[in-house]
Amino acid sequence: MNALTQPVVARLSLASSQHDLHHARSLLDSALGFVRQQAATAQDPYVISRVGDVQIRIEVAAALLERAEGLLDSEKDATEISVALAESDLASAEALATASDAEFELTGRRTVLSGSLHDPLRWKRHLIGNFRLNGIHPSAQEAV
């Protein structure tokens, strides 16, 4: 079985990506509100660059999430769907971690987040890399 034959699990994976992406956007918005109140800080080149970095990561995660949703709804190849889900999960989790780090760097506070500890990201990197590099299709256990 894989993401295509386990639609409930695939939808949960999408929900996790959506959750992380929503939180990343919220953290960035909160940090931006704080920084904008500090006139000198808002003009700092490091701060401007950091905000740009977080925004780019959020947009990439959003694009990968949209792609995964589209593939899941299209009944494409199960392996492509599994890899797209893993890419979306990874990008969303990394966008959230980046936004959380930026929040701390820019505001001095950190919002407590529930993480993706139940589904280690390093295995998603392995799944994606093994498929893209070696053409090895994820096993049923890896695919969700």
Pick the CATH number of 7-134 from 1.10.10.10, 1.20.140.10, 3.40.50.970, 3.90.320.10: 1.20.140.10
Count Cβ neighbours within 10 Å for each residue of 34-47 and write b for 16 or more, e otherwise.
Answer: bbeeeeeeeeeeeb
Residue-wise pLDDT tens digits, 101-140? 999 999 999 998 765 545 677 788 888 999 999 999 887 5
| Sequence-distant (≥ 6) Cβ neighbours of residue 7 within 8 angstroms | 72
Q: What is the pTM of this model?
A: 0.83
Identify the residue with better confidence: 23 or 123: 23
Alpha carbon of residue 80 to chain centroid: 18
Residue-wise pLDDT tens digits, 61-116? 999 999 999 998 887 788 888 899 999 999 999 999 999 999 999 999 999 876 55
DSSP 4: T
Residue 1 pLDDT exceeds 50: no
